[in-house]
Structure 1
Amino acid sequence: MYPQTSRLRLRRFRPDDAPALAAYRSDPAVARYQGWSAPVSPEAAAQLVERFAAGDPGEPGWFQYAVELTSTGELIGDIGVRLHDNLMQAELGFTLSRTHQGRGYAAEAVTALLERLFAEQGLHRVSAECDARNTASARLLERVGFHLEGRRPAHSWIKGEWTDDLLYGLLAADWERCHPVVRPDGE
């Protein structure tokens, strides 16, 4: 079962998601702090969707969740999770269409996914990093419980310039203090 809230559903990508993915990933404001460059062609989006749909969220490596509105089924973004080989830790990243930013959707989707990662998959730690100039993403990570663990000055070469990276982490124990988990086995 994929995470769901009253407003959002996280699910596997489908072929018909390609046009929406191409649209929001082609927005220069959305792509600004990301590893891809806008525009994203319809062909490239179709290939991405095919690759995303083939992933397995329980296996090591990246899995990309589609984020859709439950009310309309509209694809509004995606969240990637890279599960480590040890199956006890992961990294995450998120992208939301500009027209849906500022409404709490990203925090809601990330929170629902963290609940799944900690409560259902039993992860010990989730980490994230972001461009230090991306203050909205940094605030979101802190709002959902991540702790700033460090800053790597001029660490990433993105779009023709060196950027600082902010490193965030969240331990299962810290998550559970703020979000009590009811495990299926009763522990």
Structure 2
Amino acid sequence: MKESSRTCMTARLHLRPIDPNDRDLFCELHTSVRVMQFIGSPLTESQAIRKFGKALQMTRERRRHLRFYAIVERHTDKPIGICGLIRSRSQTGLEIGIMLHERWQGRGYGREAVWALVEQTLRRGPVQRIFATTDARNAPCAGMFRGLGFQQQPGDGNARKTLWEISRESMAKTPATAQQKGNNHSDGMKFQC
């Protein structure tokens, strides 16, 4: 796969496969109490380093759509978060996840990054379905997925988790830009993936 097909640009962001230079960001996110509050217990530094090694290996294997991306703010060239697509043992399709440094939360960057990855994966690849699992208490994340056209799915008995799904079929019936899906950023979502 060509490297250009492994990156994605929006008006404000560049999503690129993680590389060894992203270890500090990855570890900072995974050890942060605030960032991890709706994901799980923060990891220790050594646990985060091991997890980064596994994520880097998965990304380097170049399996189609299975990788982790650094979210880089284009204006500053600063990595601000990590997002990724992985296979799940319990669901069909791919699971999307995102972690943003707390200084960058609440500014639409998460929405922009998730939509770029969804757009690239569903419109241009063989994947038929993407899902996300959120903590039921994480209202901003639920609002983001709802605003992007994800549909809330029936629960699996865990009242603290909410399952969201978007399919290629449902995406084809909705507008292709996050601006039309409620993104209130004037710079919009122009993709170059």
TM-score interval for Structure 1 and Structure 2 normalised by the shorter chain:
0.7 to 0.9
Unaligned runs of 5+ in 1: 156-162, 182-187
Unaligned runs of 5+ in 2: 178-193
TM-score calculated relative to the size of structure 2: 0.76
Higher relative contact order (CA 8 A, sep 6+): 2
| Aligned-residue RMSD, C-alpha | 2.5
Aligned sequence identity (%): 24
TM-score calculated relative to the size of structure 1: 0.78
* Residues 30-57 of structure 1 deviation map (CA, whole Å, 9 limit, x = unaligned): 111113x33542x444433332222248
**CA apart distance, 1:63:** 2.2
**CA apart distance, 1:177:** 1.9
- Partner amino acid, structure 1, of 2:80: I
User: How many residues end up aligned between the 2 structures?
Assistant: 169
Point out the structure with the larger strand share: 1
* Matches of 1:18 and 1:169, distance apart in 2: 30
Aligned to 1:151: 155
Aligned to 1:170: 166
1:81-120 paired onto structure 2 within 5 Å = 81-83=85-87, 89-120=93-124
- Partner amino acid, structure 1, of 2:148: V
* Matches of 1:13 and 1:40, distance apart in 2: 20
Instruction: Evaluate the alpha carbon distance shift between residue 39 and residue 169 of structure 1 in structure 2; reply closer, same or farther with a 3 A threshold.
Output: closer
Question: Pick from 127, 132, 143: which aligns with 2:131?
Answer: 127
* Matches of 2:64 and 2:160, distance apart in 1: 27
Instruction: Evaluate the alpha carbon distance shift between residue 116 and residue 83 of structure 1 in structure 2; reply closer, same or farther with a 3 A threshold.
Output: farther
